[in-house]
Structure 1
Amino acid sequence: MIDAGKAYNTANKQFVNGIRELAQQSTKDEVIESSLTKFAESLTEMINYHTVGHHHHDRDLRKFKESKKHFDKVSEEKEAALARNAQAPRNKQHEVEEATNILTATRKCFRHIVLDYVLQINVLQSKRRSEILKSMLTFMYAHLTFFHQGYDLFSELQPLMKQLGGQLDQLVVDAAKDKRDMEQKHSTIQQKDFSNDDTKLEYNVDAEKGIAMEGYLFKRASNAFKTWNRRWFSIQNNQLVYQKKFKDNPTVVVEDLRLCTVKHCEDVERRFCFEVVSPTKSCMMQADSEKLRQAWIKAVQNSIATAFRERGDEEEKLDRRASTSTGSLDSGGEPKEKPLKGESALQKVLTIPGNSCCCDCGQPDPRWASINLGITLCIQCSGIHRSLGVHFSKVRSLTLDTWEPELLKLMCGLGNQVVNGIFEARREELVARKPQPGDPRQDIEAYIKAKYVERRFVRRPSDEELRTKVVSLSKQEKRLSSSNEHLPPRPPPPTPKLRPASNASGKSVRSADSGIQNSADGSREMLADTPSTNSPADTGWEPVFYEPKDCSAGLQLYWAAGARSLPDMAEALAHGAPVNWVNAEDQKRTPLIMAVQGGSLVTCEFLLQNAANVNQQDAQGRAPLHHATILGHTGQVCLFLKRGANQNAADMEEKTPLSMAVEAANADIVTLLRLAKMNEEMREAEGYSPAGDETYQDIFQDFTQMASNDPELLNRYEQYNTPRPGP
């Protein structure tokens, strides 16, 4: 009875939970939701009343059962001892004694267990009459309470039940009317002829939830099997999304339709196919009919146009706001120049030889670029480049993205003609066909991977050619370093304490025309003499190059960075030069440090775009930021800080870039370093306001503009102090 009651209560609880779930699913119908909720609460109380009556004490019964278990067990043990005693042979006295002892011990244990068992039987028998009557009486009183409380509870529900009974009659009448109306509509629709009719589509950009169009399409998977699956697609909020099931979260196919193009696809076996191409992927879809395909293509095209109009309106508003603000540093009250964007960047980049067509397929009028390669791309090739990964190609829009001046100069310093001269040098020799506009995507993708990932068409130079190239670049770097045209006025840095170079006989060698120590191993050495104060541009050392024993692409990259030759740097990287190559013969300097010494902002930008480590230190513990501070290259300091340079790093003399800038009294660099540090502290502080970050960005933008467009404005050291030698 007790077990059955528990099962009954469990079933009742499941029933009530079902009623609660039904009420939650009927939130739009207030009558059903409130009624079911009220009934579920009442039934829950009834279940609680019923549970109270099923508690009984069976402590004595449990003791009796435990005693019986012990009795049964010891009985089996006694039977086993008797059998063993009977089987003991008379001629084996030790077995007889052992069996007798076991039987004696087992009999003693059996007598004790029997006494306990009999005691429990007698106790149970003595309480039998009283316990039975007591339990039964308690059970009956529990039923009395249950039915009494249930009567009171349902008496309170009776008015609600009568009210719902009246409403139920009206609901039955309404349901019958709705059924009759739906049957009539069904009959009318069945009589129509749909043989030549297609689904009517409406395009409305102001539709609810921003949905411009929606419907079922077949989508080709991007896996190796190219399977087709039917999905529910929609164009909403300038995005193309689809759902596998109705309740699934939408999967975004295209995040921004402004970056896309749509076209018919007739080169597949299926009919009514079209393709949406974005910079990151290509999505092939199939409509159910030609009319539906045209409707989808038109919807995508209209959404692209709408997105551009909305973006243009936003930019126009922002431009009007920006026109009222003025520059914050040396602007003289004039509005500050913004980074180039849109058509301005496009026009500048497309004037470079070869840039008017896509670098890889020749598609005219490209609108995309790979900033680390310095080339222009069409939208399809840009999507393939994105799939290669940023360690091979970093794609940016020429019309939609903002272009920093140093990045724009990088693009103008290379171009499709230069880069193809490197990456396609052996293409004709290998009889490799270059893709044309309209070729299948997989063919273009295979060519691009062979060109940039496998570098199959790059011509590897001979040792003699590489040696000649390195010697030429070193001489070019030496000519630049001996001239102070590209360096701002600055005080000389502290002279490093280095050993003098020696020739093969072990004696120090000094150049007759330059007064610089040379080393026979092709490395550069610094003089221990104090630099002359008459030459503020002197860095404390000049590069001297002797023909090295072993040349490498890394050494070419190193000297090309100092010679400010972007094509030679790109060629070295194409030949496999590590961008963070270390010159062990020259104070463990890297190409990025050499670019700092060369004084070119663009070469630094090129190396950083190709994953150069902005914090890699030389043998003196100086990172590129230290060298840019010592040389007074304000634009490079600004660039390194924007790229995450650690301004708290100290060199072997425990000097940080800030302490060096303060010692040299370079106000611009001190300002930049302190601003960057203050901005970093503000970011870490609680309650940080984005306004502080905007001010910081504005000031850095001013410095970037001056460093790229008017570098003479940053040659202001003499305004602050007279040049003085370092300690």
Structure 2
Amino acid sequence: MIEAGKAYVTTNRLFVSGVRDLSQQCQGDSVISECLQRFGDSLQEMVNYHMILFDQAQRSVRQQLHNFVKEDVRKFKETKKQFDKVREDMELSLVRNAQAPRHRPHEVEEATGALTLTRKCFRHLALDYVLQINVLQAKKKFEILDSMLSFMHAQYSFFQQGYSLLHQLDPYMKKLAAELDQLVIDSAVEKRDMERKHAAIQQRTLLQDFSYDEPKVEFDVDAPSGVVMEGYLFKRASNAFKTWNRRWFSIQNSQLVYQKKLKDVLTVVVDDLRLCSVKPCEDIERRFCFEVVSPTKSCMLQADSEKLRQAWVQAVQASIASAYRESPDSCYSERLDRTASPSTSSIDSATDSRERSVKGESVLQRVQNVAGNSQCGDCGQLDPRWASINLGVLLCIECSGIHRSLGVHCSKVRSLTLDSWEPELLKLMCELGNSTMNQIYEAQCEGPGSRKPTASSPRQDKEAWIKDKYVEKKFLRKPPSAPAREAPRHWRVQKCQRHHSSPRAPAARRKVRLEPVLPSVAALSSAGAGERKFRRDSLFCPDELDSLFSYFDAGAAAAGPRKGAESEESSGEADGEAEAWGLADVRELHPGLLAHRAARTRDLPALAAALAHGAEVNWADTEDEGKTPLVQAVLGGSLIVCEFLLQNGADVNQKDSRGRAPLHHATLLGRTGQVCLFLKRGADQHALDHEQQDPLSIAVQEANADIVTLLRLARMAEEMREAEAPPGQPGALLGTSPTELQYRRCIQEFISLHLEES
């Protein structure tokens, strides 16, 4: 305006017009609107008196508004850019956390840590962003008022010519000054309160762990809006690349739908939830996955955490049950009566579905016939249909959900009716049971606050009991504080000498091996007709592997009384050690040594008790060639004990002081069933011991045709996976290719040879 002095009058009128326009823009605030309106009217009459004072007044008005726009508003815009960038970083961290493979703990830990840091940074920056918004909105008021008031005071002080005109505004300006002071005070108080809240939230966030970062998710089947649950999930595409995309899913009106964006058209995944089933998936590379299966297709979904996955599974199950209650169709009711859980209410229209149901019922009946398994091991609910496979107990659906929340390092939950059960796992569940395990975990449950919940108890009571029982282990029998528990070596001198570990055993003894009766080729080939693809964690097709396992396990049991090298080295030695060890009190043994003893003597309850009392499942005994409990189980000859240790985290590839892993020992002793189990659990068959021998070379040296053929078939499977994998995707699943057919023929020839030899 100074530079445009030649057009002073015009410019001043434009300024007055701008003040009036600003008054119209601030109609929402009566104080600012009234102030600008009255000052604008007065200024319109004072246009001819502004020439002298204009420069000083312009500086007073322009400088404050310039600071507000150039500093405060610019700082706010920079914060907004940072906020947008951190938000994008959090989205990338979510994707990386979801993509972290299950079998790479370091990548999972790194992705989880990055996600935690990004979330905390996002929360802190969001708080700063909201704080600046509120401060800017509050500051806008008194900045404008202060500028205009300063301008008007300058007019009053220096323009004697306009005194008579400004005199009538003097009372109003005094009143406005008082209101401005109060506005400044109120703004300062509000800013201080917001800063205190900001600091308190930051302090609380620093003290909280990652569990706080997980959003609390709840579902309501009877929601008035019809939306039972909604949120983001990763969905695996049905194309050949199996890509994962993040979509907004919701359960509403008995349907499962999703949207790419919030305002996009809904895409229906499941048209009628009554026709589908849902189950968690633990056999794929990604974590927190669950599958929704309908009669026409299946949909693989992934949540952001285990808690979210459990919530989604329960929401789908509850929606299925609610849909049946709302539409009590006869055929649906009939199917619902056949299942105890809503998640099992799928249409049994095909023959394979009926066979699966019959198989599930047989598993349920066999496991429930074990002592104490007729009711839930934690709350007593009748007809439990869920199991903790590493603890060996049966659970109701509510207690199984609590067990899942403990994490797989504490309890691995599986359904007796929905999931497939391997023969070794089924035998393990039949060996343990609720009565046996409760004698261990509830040995001393007396005392205040330790009352066992019932089926009708609230969920929080059951959750507290289960955590005290399995996590805190408050009810275990307290071991005596004896010196033997600190340095338990008194039983070591009583062990029998082992000669089977030497590779230089006489040739006559090496050639003696079990020759069990084999199943027919037709039975094995028909067993693989249901599923034609390999699992990533297995070297064989599921049905073929289970058939082979059943054959080897049954053969080992049938050949137990035989008088050969293996019977001398396994059962005879184990019985001798069991008799020697029986001289010591079990309770006086160190948990680690007790685990070794129990694994060697096939005492599964004692082994479970040792692990409950804190025995390290991978503890290597330095005084016994660095052997682990899993190696002791191999020496003892129990395949079920090996399965129990593997389910509880035993390392299948841990070596002893001679460089031998459990697969080496099983091959050396001719334990075909254990070799099959270790290969199924991912044992490294290429590992070399200190004598530079791998399991295959040991099997050739021991002249064991069973194990030699089994190991060669396993290597063939590895070579096929590598050869038939697409570029950039190693280890692809095998389909019905010519190579796979050749592999199946090899297995049939393997069985035919043993039939002829029998």
- What is the TM-score with the length of structure 1 in the denominator? 0.47
- What is the TM-score with the length of structure 2 in the denominator? 0.45
Query: Which is helix-richer, 1 or 2?
Result: 2
Larger radius of gyration: 1
